[in-house]
């Protein structure tokens, strides 16, 4: 069975959430859904020992976080597109975004509730429309509009400490997985108005503690001011009428939030004996997208679900004019996915399929075999997952400044 997890992660930060054990509620919903499937799937002709989960973007992050329980056994395999444990910046529930929580109490008039209740219970009792209105107010406030105040948090339970450290220590479930990215993850998150003076605006906005000036200087060296090296990648000196800084900023954000976390998860898996892992990079230019976005975040999803074909389209992703080439690539991707769902291996086991699908080797951290499948019409082939390696090593050599925020007890 293929279970699609909800992409919503819900609000997870604030002293009230910590004090009431209410952090990471969407993760708990996902676990409850998977428990229901395990208990009832036989009624639908399914096998509780053969469940595969698939998620994209925050759905992929949600799945990857379930791996942080080494004993997790509610699915036997997973497909994760554009999101890993360290994609969202993360810190302790009760302290990291407390300012936003206090503002939420203020705008809902729960900052001073009635004498017989607490601010958090006041929030719980609010009508859904009032709570939703307050959420929109938070997300449109410039202080938090590009932040992860609604993301997962280190709650001491489902996420006991920094996901980076848990992966480094091998404290995760050894469940087979496919993890991949689109080629230009950062473009859709980068403002087209960015210029040299606002190069790190997005990074500084999402991080409760700004990365150090020294590290930002090192990042500028790792991602040179050269449009031919920026994202959309492989577009030469073309700047699409934008400031050249746009391509530089998009490259940095895409690697910090998506590419480097995926690679780190794969490396940790291999170091701790999980052999059944595969990775891909989706490189098909999708229709109906501005050229400056390249192969942008989430544009691979219609190909997974068979809507990337003429006459079908996908309103959610604003893609309508797919071609027969898109259709053919979509069928190829679906074949890999179905093989993996049935056999925990994306490669065919039937000789009838061998001529149709390129062999997709398992991932290996050895330099000569970091096998990655390139997904592009007419160019489905194995490439090496070693692009921008020095730059991504810099990111993960400084993990306490990227995608990791204040531990409960500060330490060096």
DSSP assignments along 269-300, one per residue: HHHTT---EEEEEE-PPPTTS-GGG-SBTTTT
**Distance separating alpha carbons of residues 332 and 326, to the nearest angstrom:** 10
- The answer to whether residues 169 and 54 belong to one domain is yes
- The whole model's pTM is what? 0.92
For residue 115, what pLDDT is reported?
72
Residue 156 scores a pLDDT above 80: yes
Residue 69 scores a pLDDT above 90: yes
Query: Which of 129, 146, 163 is a domain's end point?
Result: 146
Q: Bridge-partner residues for 277, per DSSP?
A: 177
- The answer to whether residues 397 and 261 belong to one domain is yes
Query: Which of 146, 178, 206 is a domain's end point?
Result: 146
Residue 348 near residue 332 (C-beta atoms within 8 A): no
- The answer to whether residues 225 and 350 belong to one domain is yes
Residue 53 DSSP SS3: strand
Residue 319 scores a pLDDT above 90: no
Residue 409 scores a pLDDT above 60: no
For residue 316, what pLDDT is reported?
80
pLDDT over 70 for what percent of the chain? 92
Range of the domain at 306: 2-94+153-401
For residue 86, what pLDDT is reported?
93
Residue 378 near residue 391 (C-beta atoms within 8 A): no
Residue 405 scores a pLDDT above 60: no
For residue 259, what pLDDT is reported?
97
Residue 5 scores a pLDDT above 50: no
Q: DSSP class of residue 305?
A: T
Q: How would residue 120 be classed by pLDDT, with cut points 50, 70 and 90?
A: very high
**Distance separating alpha carbons of residues 132 and 115, to the nearest angstrom:** 25
- The answer to whether residues 119 and 255 belong to one domain is no
For residue 171, what pLDDT is reported?
98
Residue 11 scores a pLDDT above 90: no
Average pLDDT estimate for 37-42: 96
For residue 407, what pLDDT is reported?
39
- CA-based Rg of the chain, rounded to a whole angstrom? 22
Average pLDDT estimate for 250-254: 95
Average pLDDT estimate for 290-316: 93
For residue 200, what pLDDT is reported?
84
Phi/psi for 173 (5° steps) reads -70, 140
**Distance separating alpha carbons of residues 368 and 59, to the nearest angstrom:** 32
Distances 91 to 24, 65, 100, 148, 208 between C-alpha atoms, Å = 12, 14, 14, 10, 9
- Helix or strand run (H / E) with residue 178: strand 177-182
- The answer to whether residues 250 and 132 belong to one domain is no
Least confident of 65-74, 133-142, 240-249: 133-142
Average pLDDT estimate for 32-47: 96
Average pLDDT estimate for 151-172: 95
Q: Return mean pLDDT, the chain.
A: 90
Residue 315 near residue 308 (C-beta atoms within 8 A): no
Phi/psi for 256 (5° steps) reads -65, -45
Report the CATH number at residue 272: 3.40.50.1820
The tally of domains found in the chain comes to 2
pLDDT digits (tens, 9 = 90+) for 164-218: 999 999 999 999 999 999 999 999 999 999 999 988 877 777 766 677 888 889 9
Question: Does 406 fall in a domain?
Answer: no
């Amino acid at each position: 069975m293929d279970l699609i997890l909800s992409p919503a992660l819900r609000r997870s930060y604030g002293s009230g959430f910590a004090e009431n054990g209410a952090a990471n509620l969407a993760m708990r919903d996902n676990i409850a859904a998977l428990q229901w499937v395990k208990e009832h799937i036989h009624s639908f002709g399914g096998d509780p020992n053969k469940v595969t989960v698939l998620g994209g973007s925050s759905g992929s992050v949600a799945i990857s976080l379930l791996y942080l329980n080494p004993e997790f056994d509610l699915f036997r395999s997973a497909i994760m597109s554009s999101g890993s444990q360290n994609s969202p910046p993360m810190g302790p529930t009760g302290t990291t975004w407390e300012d936003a929580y206090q503002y939420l109490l203020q705008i809902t008039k729960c900052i001073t509730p009635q004498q017989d209740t607490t601010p958090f219970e006041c929030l719980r009792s609010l009508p859904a429309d009032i709570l939703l209105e307050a959420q929109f107010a938070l997300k449109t406030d410039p202080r938090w509009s590009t932040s992860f105040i609604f993301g997962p948090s280190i709650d001491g339970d489902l996420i006991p400490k920094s996901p980076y450290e848990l992966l480094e220590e091998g404290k995760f479930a050894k469940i087979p997985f496919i993890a991949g990215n689109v080629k230009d993850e950062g473009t859709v998150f980068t403002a087209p108005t960015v210029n040299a003076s606002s190069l790190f605006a997005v990074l500084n906005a999402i991080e409760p503690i700004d990365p150090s000036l020294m590290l930002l200087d090192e990042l500028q060296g790792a991602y040179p001011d050269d449009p031919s090296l920026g994202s959309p990648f492989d577009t030469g000196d073309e700047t699409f009428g934008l400031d050249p800084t746009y391509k530089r900023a998009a490259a940095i954000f895409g690697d910090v939030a998506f590419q480097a976390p995926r690679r780190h998860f794969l490396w940790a898996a291999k170091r701790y004996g999980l052999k059944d892992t595969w990775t891909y990079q989706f490189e098909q230019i999708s229709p109906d997208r501005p050229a400056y976005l390249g192969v942008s975040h989430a544009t691979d999803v219609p190909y997974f679900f068979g809507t990337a074909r003429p006459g079908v389209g996908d309103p959610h992703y604003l893609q309508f004019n797919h071609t027969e080439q898109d259709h053919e690539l979509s069928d190829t991707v679906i074949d890999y996915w179905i093989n993996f769902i049935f056999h925990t291996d994306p490669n065919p086991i039937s000789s009838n399929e061998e001529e149709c699908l390129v062999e997709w080797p398992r991932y290996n951290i050895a330099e000569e075999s970091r096998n990655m499948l390139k997904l592009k019409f007419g160019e489905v082939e194995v490439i090496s997952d070693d692009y921008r390696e020095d730059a991504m090593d810099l990111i993960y050599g400084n993990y306490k400044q990227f995608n990791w925020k204040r531990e409960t007890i500060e330490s060096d």
